[in-house]
DNA sequence: CGCCAGTATGAACGCTCGTTCACTCAGACG
DNA sequence: CGTCTGAGTGAACGAGCGTTCATACTGGCG
């Protein structure tokens, strides 16, 4: 009856991926039904299964891809940041902020709904997330050891952990409040987060990063 | 057949509330079924409805209560903090951190699952959350105006918003990584967050808050 | 002591869930 | 030109969902 051919290549798969992004973001994974997914792509529920083995498989594809992209952003940023821990931290915080502003749906779904993945896949995601935490913590520890940062003077056991989580949470949750129509641009906000990260770490303000 | 009386007063209602806290926290609101809820309380599904009108009503009771408690903590803290913005900010960040460490299930459900509330109730919750954001932003703005904080020197439009969100996200998400069995106590972590908040705001370090 | 209010049961309600299946059809290929 | 393949339909599957209801029991009150 209706036309069967809507796209030649793997475009449909991508359309489902995108609809999953939008709907999982808005209603959560368990709050989204396969029929809603199908409606959003102008498909019937059954057709979804020509492209993904299950609803869970779609979630994993979404979460996995954004983690790939995040890893790429972080490692490229680190590679271009030199060896100064302050420069590294500022660059990482800024780049990761820009990444989260550019992909609000992806990052929100990844951060919130990965818990619905089946055991093995969830663990693999958890491992990847821990590696990101460790990356920030390592930069802080490195800077602390070399005297660039000053976290020990806060007088708390292992302030590195709390500080790196403070930086990471600032960055990861930026899309919850950032308004693209607001007075501050994405780039400006990313740069601001870079400087706030340095403040948290207690270093880097010495070499005139103040005025822009 | 089985014994019908398990508790005299409104204790059962509280048991359901607590099970909701645990299960919503672990699986999310839409990921939790009324039967799981009932099992966790040694009840049958129907009995739940003697105490709550619906699953949604239970969610609202949970979210509403923790917001009441949060409001109480914040206003009491502010009342006892004097008029110095730095002292206010440090006390607010510390107290709110302690609150989130003490109630990890409650705050996680409130922060994540309030989106599943029906229109009117969700809006009321959103309003309350905005008021908390405004409280922190107001303290920052006040300190900025009085020269206690230094956010303008970051060279970004409205750095107050970004800084207050950085502080709030640090505080609100502490339970995601804080380990009660770890080397740092809850009180110590709360105090550390108070000092990190001052760093973010760019003030308060002048009057020897360094060593503890 | 009789009764009522409160709280439980357990079986059912209609609905919607994720998924499957038999089938259709268009386009590519030998 | 016949055939095969990939992508779609629409109806159905069993399971499980949130919720309701007739019924039963019990402790406290008049």
Give A1's pLDDT tier (boundaries 50, 70, 90).
very low
CA–C1' distance A62–D5 (Å)? 28
The two three-digit tokens of residue A36, written as one number: 């809603």
Q: Mean pLDDT, to the nearest integer, of A161-172?
A: 98
Query: What pLDDT score was predicted for residue B103?
Result: 98
Q: Sort out which chain A residues have CB atoms less than 8 A from B161's CB and list them.
A: 177, 184
How remote is the C-alpha of B9 from its chain's centroid?
29
> Does any CB of chain A come closer than 8 Å to the CB of residue B123?
no
Kindly report the backbone phi and psi dihedral angles of residue A122, in degrees, each rounded to the nearest multiple of 5, phi listed first: -65, -45
pLDDT, mean over chain A: 92
Higher pLDDT, B107 or A155: B107
How remote is the C-alpha of A183 from its chain's centroid?
23
Query: What pLDDT score was predicted for residue A203?
Result: 86
Residue A147 pLDDT > 80, yes or no? Answer: yes
Residue B168: half-sphere exposure toward Cβ, Cα within 13 Å? 26
Within 10 Å of residue A147's Cβ, how many Cβ atoms?
Answer: 9
Residue A3 pLDDT > 60, yes or no? Answer: no
Rounded (10°) CA dihedral A82, A84, A90, A92: 50
Give A92's pLDDT tier (boundaries 50, 70, 90).
very high
CA distance readout (Å), A206 to A97, A149, A164, A211: 23, 11, 21, 12
Residue A126 pLDDT > 50, yes or no? Answer: yes
Residue A169 pLDDT > 50, yes or no? Answer: yes
**CB of B45 lies under 7 Å from some atom of strand D:** yes
User: Strand C positions with any atom < 7 Å from protein CB?
Assistant: 6-12, 16-22, 24-27
Q: Sort out which chain B residues have CB atoms less than 8 A from A166's CB and list them.
A: 166, 170, 193, 196
Residue A206 pLDDT > 90, yes or no? Answer: no
List of A residues 20-79 with CB within 7 A of strand D: 42-47, 50-51
Residue A133 pLDDT > 90, yes or no? Answer: yes
- What is the mean pLDDT, run by run of 10 residues, along chain B of 212 residues? 47 96 98 98 96 97 98 98 97 98 98 96 97 98 96 91 98 97 96 98 62 36
The two three-digit tokens of residue A94, written as one number: 């800024």
Proportion of chain A above pLDDT 70, given as a percent: 91
Query: What pLDDT score was predicted for residue A4?
Result: 42
């Amino acid at each position: 009856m209706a036309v069967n051919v809507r796209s030649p290549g793997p475009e449909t798969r991508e359309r489902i991926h995108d609809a999953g992004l939008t709907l999982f973001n808005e209603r959560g994974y368990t709050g989204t039904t396969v029929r809603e997914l199908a409606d959003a792509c102008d498909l019937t529920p059954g057709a979804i299964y020509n492209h993904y083995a299950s609803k869970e498989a779609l979630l994993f594809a979404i979460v996995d891809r954004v983690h790939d992209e995040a890893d790429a952003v972080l490692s490229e940023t680190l590679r271009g940041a030199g060896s100064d821990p302050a420069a590294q931290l500022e660059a990482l915080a800024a780049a990761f902020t820009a990444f989260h502003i550019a992909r609000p749906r992806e990052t929100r779904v990844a951060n919130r709904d990965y818990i619905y993945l089946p055991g093995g896949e969830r663990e693999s995601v958890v491992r990847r997330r821990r590696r990101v935490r460790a990356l920030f913590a390592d930069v802080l520890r490195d800077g602390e050891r070399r005297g660039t940062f000053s976290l020990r003077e806060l007088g708390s056991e292992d302030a590195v952990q709390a500080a790196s989580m403070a930086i990471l949470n600032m960055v990861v949750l930026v899309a919850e409040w950032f308004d693209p129509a607001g007075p501050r641009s994405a780039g400006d906000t990313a740069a601001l987060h870079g400087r706030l990260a340095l403040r948290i770490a207690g270093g880097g303000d010495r070499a005139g990063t103040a005025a822009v």
